[in-house]
Amino acid sequence: MPADDFLSFPPDTLVREPLRLPFLARGEGWLVLNKPVGVPWAPDPWIPRQTDLVREVRRQLRDGKPQLARLGIGAFHGIVGPDLVASGAVLCATTDAEGARLANALGSAQIELTYRFVTMGRPTQEEIVCELPLAPHATEPRMLVSHTTGKKTATTFRLEKRFRGYAVWTATTTFDRLHQIRVHAAESALPIVGESRYAKTTPIYLSEIKRDYRPAGDGTRVEQPLYGELCLHLARIRFPGADGQPVSVEAPLPKPFAVLLKKLGEHLAI
């Protein structure tokens, strides 16, 4: 792999600050990036932006950015990734031929996505399969369940870990519908921590889960949540390589997300 193991973006493009998106893996004609919350990898129909990851890299290609030439990137196609408000792996193609092949693999249910997320409540089941069809709402910025106009989709939820009042789940699917995991989780009575569109949940504060909590300093600082974002992360993408062999790429949790899980284990373990 060349010395560069990331894609770089100047300030006020994808976000206000300069940004580097690290490679999780790279192969012949494809790469997987690790996307933080708030970085758009593709257009969002309800949160319009002047640019996104795919459009910005294509602009850099037109401008002849040397980094892309060093990396041998001659084209750029976004295949699959998490919502704007979620974090995790983004699969991209760096040639037109690989872009077409991977897009076909996604449409043929050959790409498997595995998410990790945190929910509120006490789960009574260890596995849930949700196959509710989804469609955009006619007037509101959200998806909904529709048995008349909705597109087929399916998500398998598996319980990973129980805590007192919370739980960690995985969600696996070969579909890629907008907000699919969020809607299916809400419909399956799995309210994701930090969800405001499909469930009304709040972030987790250390003061809420630590029995002997004492505020830092003189106690006048406003406490910040352990993880102030939607607790949803695209943790693994599994897809067929050009040689037919499966490729599996995992994305580590954002550091604050990992800290949240550690604190739940320390203070709310069952």
The range of the structural domain enclosing residue 39 comes to 1-108
Q: Give yes or no for residue 217 having a pLDDT over 80.
A: no
DSSP strands (E only) in 105-152: 112-120, 127-130, 134-136, 143-145
Specify the DSSP class assigned to residue 90.
E
Span 16-20, average pLDDT: 96
Q: Are 154 and 267 within one domain? A: yes
Q: Are 258 and 128 within one domain? A: yes
Q: Are 102 and 128 within one domain? A: no
For residue 217, how far is the Cα from the chain centroid? Answer: 35
User: How many Cβ atoms sit within 10 Å of the Cβ of residue 197?
Assistant: 16
Whether 202 is covered by a domain: the verdict is yes
The single-letter code of the amino acid at 51 is: T
pLDDT score recorded for residue 216: 78
3-state SS, residue 89: strand
Q: Are 29 and 47 within one domain? A: yes
Whether 246 is covered by a domain: the verdict is no
Q: Please state the pTM of the whole predicted model.
A: 0.95
Whether 243 is covered by a domain: the verdict is no
What percent of the chain is predicted at pLDDT more than 70?
99
Contacts of 224 (CB under 8 A, 6+ apart): 205
Span 154-171, average pLDDT: 98
pLDDT score recorded for residue 3: 60
First vs last Cα of the chain: how many Å apart?
Answer: 44
Query: What would you measure as the largest C-alpha separation in the chain, in angstroms?
Result: 61
Question: Dihedral through CA 14, CA 223, CA 234, CA 171, nearest 10?
Answer: -150
In angstroms, the CA 189 to CA 255 distance is 27
Give tens-digit pLDDT for 96-119: 999 999 999 999 999 999 999 999
Q: How many domains does the chain contain in total?
A: 2
Q: Are 70 and 189 within one domain? A: no
DSSP H or E run through 23: strand 19-27
Q: Give yes or no for residue 218 having a pLDDT over 60.
A: yes
Residue 119's DSSP bridge partners are 167, 192
Q: Note whether 130 and 182 are within 8 A (CB).
A: no
Q: Are 262 and 143 within one domain? A: yes
Q: Are 154 and 200 within one domain? A: yes
pLDDT score recorded for residue 220: 75
Span 220-245, average pLDDT: 95
